[in-house]
Amino acid sequence: MKNITKTLLVTGLSVGLLVGATGASGQSFDNAHAATAHQTPYYTYNGQFNIPNNNALDDNNFYRGLKADHFIFNGLKVGEVTKADVFKNLGSGFKRYYGEKDLTFYEKNGIIVGFDHKGKLVNLTLRINHIKNSAKLIEKHVKKGEIYNTKTTQVAFYPGNTIVIKAK
């Protein structure tokens, strides 16, 4: 009787371990697969940009978000929002910077926004001249003269001066 009990106990433990190990390895595989699945990079920036201690220019995700056409600045996406959205999110106090044929530009706190004749945000220029080592930081992440040509925007980098995001 003792031998039958021991045999059943050992068999039960073996089956339990086998089922548990199979479940664990299946779960491990799913997690590994999820980790390698392609994820679209996003980058959201809130606050003033052109300040000395801004670390965005040293963040790989900043460049990845710009390159993937998923960059949001204070709740605004170039080519998708209106003048009313910009003034609501960034506040009043913008001064007319200059105008062109069908574009009007406004400036405030190191940000230049450009609107088309329909009032759509088509240009966002971020000044970076007050950010410590801005030229070196950009050159560390972007090849000289490189422009990110995305689905809806073009992003041009002018180290030490500005980053221009323009709607197509």
Q: Over the stretch 38-67, which tens digit does the pLDDT of each residue have? A: 677 899 999 999 999 999 999 999 999 999
Residues 16 and 74 reside in one and the same domain: no
Which range of residues forms the domain containing residue 1? 1-37
Residues 90 and 72 reside in one and the same domain: yes
Residue 37: predicted pLDDT? 53
Count of structural domains within the chain: 2
Locus of tokens 């998923």:
70
Residue 38: predicted pLDDT? 61
Residue 101: predicted pLDDT? 86
Residue 100: predicted pLDDT? 85
pTM greater than 0.85 (yes/no): no
Residues 65 and 148 reside in one and the same domain: yes
Residues 141 and 86 reside in one and the same domain: yes
Residues 33 and 115 reside in one and the same domain: no
Residues 32 and 48 reside in one and the same domain: no
Q: Cα–Cα distances in Å, from 152 out to 23, 48, 73, 126, 159?
A: 45, 24, 15, 18, 23
Distance, in Å, from the CA atom of 104 to the CA atom of 97, rounded to the nearest integer, reads 8
Residue 129: predicted pLDDT? 96
Residues 13 and 66 reside in one and the same domain: no
Secondary structure (3-state) at 34: helix
Q: Over the stretch 24-35, which tens digit does the pLDDT of each residue have? A: 444 443 444 444
Residues 9 and 53 reside in one and the same domain: no
Distance, in Å, from the CA atom of 55 to the CA atom of 45, rounded to the nearest integer, reads 11
Distance, in Å, from the CA atom of 112 to the CA atom of 116, rounded to the nearest integer, reads 14
Residue 67: predicted pLDDT? 97
Residue 22: predicted pLDDT? 42
Q: Phi, psi (5° rounding) for residue 30?
A: -60, -40
What dihedral do alpha carbons 12, 13, 15, 16 form, nearest 10°? 110
Residues 69 and 152 reside in one and the same domain: yes
Residue 40: predicted pLDDT? 78
157 touches 138 (CB < 8 A):
yes
Distance, in Å, from the CA atom of 118 to the CA atom of 147, rounded to the nearest integer, reads 26
Residues 58 and 33 reside in one and the same domain: no
* Below-50 pLDDT ranges, the chain: 1-36
Residues 11 and 84 reside in one and the same domain: no
134 touches 125 (CB < 8 A):
no
Residue 11: predicted pLDDT? 43
Name every residue whose Cβ is closer than 8 Å to that of residue 38 and which is 6 or more positions away in sequence: none
